[in-house]
Amino acid sequence: MTSVRQSKKGSESARVDFEVSPPPIPPKEIKETITTDVVVLGAGIAGLTAAVSAAEAGVRTILLEKGDNFHNRGLHNTAISSRLQKKAGIKNDRDKIIYTIMEYGAYRTDQKVVTTWADSCDSVMDWLLDMAETANIEVILDPTTKEWYFPNYPVIHVFMPAWQETLAGMLLNRARALGVDVRFNAPAVRLLREGKGRVTGVIAQNPKSGYIQFNVSRAVVLCTGDYGNDRRMVEKYCWKAVSSLACSYEPPLNTGDGHKMGMWIGAAIDDAPHCVMLFDWTAVWSDHGIFNLGRQPWLRVNLNGERFMNEDLPWGYECDQIMQQPGGVVWAVWDAKYDSDWPKMKSQCCKNMGPPTYLWEAQRLDEAIKNGDVLTAKTIDELANKMDVPVEAFKSTVARYNELTRRGNDLDFGKHPDRLTTVEKPLFYACKIKARYLVTLGGLKINTRMQVLDTDRNIIPGLYAAGNVSGSFFSNIYPTTVPGLTHSRAWTFGRLAGLNAAAEKTS
């Protein structure tokens, strides 16, 4: 099903400047030295979970964050067989989920690490559910599945009402209640390691002046996120076509700091090209988020007015198709029947327009039309002219698509009959779609204890990694058929890293 992407730039063995350790920080610039047991770097979901877990294990824990608050994205969290799923009678096949992750990764990843996630995520989710219950936070299941070309698993858990922000806030409150020393605006800049010895600490910038050195008796846990906003790293490690795409992660603090600090002391990074989470991005944005109506599997045409794909693919595959088209931009086209057409599409996660998402779509559509981001027309000819595509080619494409829809058989690209809809009832609508990437998913190589490995696959003592700074898990393309997997990996491996770091023998 998958194929390994090749990139000349991504496969170069020559080291570039960010991979080479800069000069040591002069001791005179270190204004303060603090000794603790564990330091966690990064206050995203992985780092917050690691800090809570280390503190629960009874060790002194400091959490350093580059920004001025915690960070979170999205809403979905994967578990295979949590207590909520068991209560709801939802059953998933653990082995098939592992196979799916490995297949999407073209078997370029470490199956033992993937299996560790699969065997641990349910107990960690149940631990989070206990925490949520204590904090009066509701967690709901979204078991939406559909008949599809790929396995599609009912694994989604959502922390209400604000999704990952709710989860992150819950973890931060728990960390502070346990006595974790949380420090914002304190970016880490160097790991401390002599030769091939253990990691003994980290140097961070003081928010006011100079540097602070944190010595650890047990371990440092890297949870610094991905490198999507460091363009040089994207060009070095990712598939060549990705380097020209926009990154949608804001604020742009994810600059690969943990990757670099790890490599400077000998850590190994995943083999290039790295996986990225691609996303079909409409031109429409509002206070309510992404314009999911435009992302339904409507007819897609390129700038030549031609259909070119099965519009019902997982986002990554869809974006691969979009990036091959002229200008890397395509049009989504639908008609006035959209209100009755979209429910039968049962779109995959993040496109699903069930409540509360659909409640916002009418407002988004009105805003988008007013702003010129969605075009409308009374005829196909008029729409083609507004889209600036060849009229006759577009009319022919629409006629062919309508014919296939009436047959209930997509002879051209094999789209499922339920996702075929005619384009025949005015008004007609169109909006542009491009590919973007959300995060990069290549990181430092780890073992099943979340310990970072060097280039000879030896453990670097005293150093752990979780979340998107960690590797050995994703490759090739992100498996959206296991929705919420990156979030699940973050809190599952954050939990394991925090507990294992706390259990390190003192120096």
For residue range 15-37, list pLDDT tens digits in order.
778 988 999 999 999 999 999 99
* Beta bridge pairs of residue 211: 30, 205
Residue 1 CA to residue 93 CA, distance in Å, equals 20
In this prediction, residues 353-362 reach a mean pLDDT of 61
Contact at 8 Å (CB) between 12 and 236?
A: yes
Distance CA 397, CA 389 (A): 11
Cα separations (Å) of 115 from 46, 264, 298? 18, 29, 37
Weakest mean pLDDT among 15-19, 111-115, 301-305: 15-19
Residue 215 β-bridge partners = 35, 201
Is residue 364 scored above 90 in pLDDT? no
Lowest mean pLDDT among 16-30, 192-206, 245-259, 345-359: 345-359
How high is the pLDDT of residue 248? 86
Mean pLDDT, rounded, of the chain: 92
Whether residue 270 contacts residue 259, with contact meaning beta carbons closer than 8 Å, is answered with: no
Q: How far is CA 78 from CA 122, 280, 348, 447, 489, in A?
A: 9, 21, 14, 21, 8
Q: Are β-strands 30-41 and 211-222 bridged in parallel, bridged antiparallel, or unpaired?
A: parallel
What average pLDDT does the segment 189-217 reach?
94
Angular region, 163: left φ>0, alpha ψ -120 to 50, beta rest: left
Neighbouring C-beta atoms of residue 422, cutoff 10 Å? 17
Structure tokens at 30: 């270190």
Give the pLDDT band of residue 355 (cuts 50, 70, 90): low
Residue type, 351: K
Percent of the chain with pLDDT over 70: 94
Q: Residue 354's pLDDT is what?
A: 61
Band of residue 358 on the pLDDT scale cut at 50, 70, 90 = low
**In the predicted model, is pLDDT for residue 448 greater than 60?**
yes
Query: For a pLDDT cut of 90, what percent of the chain falls above it?
Result: 79
For every residue of 34-78, DSSP letters joined together read EEEEEEEE--SHHHHHHHHHHHHTT--EEEE-SSSS-----S-EE
Query: Which amino acid is present at 349?
Result: C
- Band of residue 12 on the pLDDT scale cut at 50, 70, 90: very low
pLDDT at 438 over 60: yes
- If residue 451 lies in a helix (H) or strand (E), which one and from where to where? strand 451-453
Please give the pLDDT value at position 253. 92
**294 DSSP assignment:** G
DSSP tag of 349: T
User: What is the per-residue pLDDT for 507?
Assistant: 56
Dump the DSSP string for 365-410: HHHHHHHTSEEEESSHHHHHHHHTS-HHHHHHHHHHHHHHHHHT--
**Which residue type, as a one-letter code, is found at position 74?**
G
Confidence band (pLDDT; 50, 70, 90) for 324? very high
Residue type, 468: N
Q: How far apart are CA 230 and CA 86, in angstroms?
A: 42
| Single pTM value for the model | 0.93
Q: How does residue 82 score in pLDDT terms, banded at 50, 70 and 90?
A: very high
Cα torsion angle, 17, 18, 22, 28, sign? positive
Residue 188 has a pLDDT of 97
Q: Pull the structure tokens for residue 258.
A: 């943990």
Report residue 503's pLDDT band, with 50, 70 and 90 as the boundaries: very high
Contact (CB, 8 A) for 132 and 170: yes
Average pLDDT for residues 296-310, to the nearest whole number? 97
Using one digit for the tens of pLDDT, what is the confidence trace for 483-502? 999 999 999 999 999 999 99
Q: What is the DSSP letter of 475?
A: -
Residue of higher predicted confidence among 101 and 147: 101
Q: Is the pLDDT score of 13 beyond 60?
A: no
Give CA–CA dist 120/333, Å, rounded. 43
b/e sequence 477-491, b meaning 16+ C-beta within 10 Å: bbbbbbbbbbbbbbb
Pairwise CA distance, residues 206 & 47, whole Å: 20
Q: Which residue has the higher pLDDT, 425 or 354?
A: 425
Which residue type, as a one-letter code, is found at position 237?
A: Y
Domains in the chain, ordered, with CATH? Answer: 17-23+33-275+441-502 (3.50.50.60), 278-437 (3.90.700.10)
- By DSSP bridging, strand 30-41 and strand 61-64 are parallel
pLDDT at 350: 75
Rounded CA separation 190/258 (Å): 9
Helix (H) or strand (E) holding 364: helix 357-371
DSSP assignment of 212-228, as one string?
A: EEEEEEEEEEE-----T
- On the CB side of 507, CA atoms within 13 Å amount to 17
Q: By C-alpha distance, which of 287, 245, 217, 236 is closest to 59?
A: 217
pLDDT class of 120 with cuts at 50, 70, 90: very high
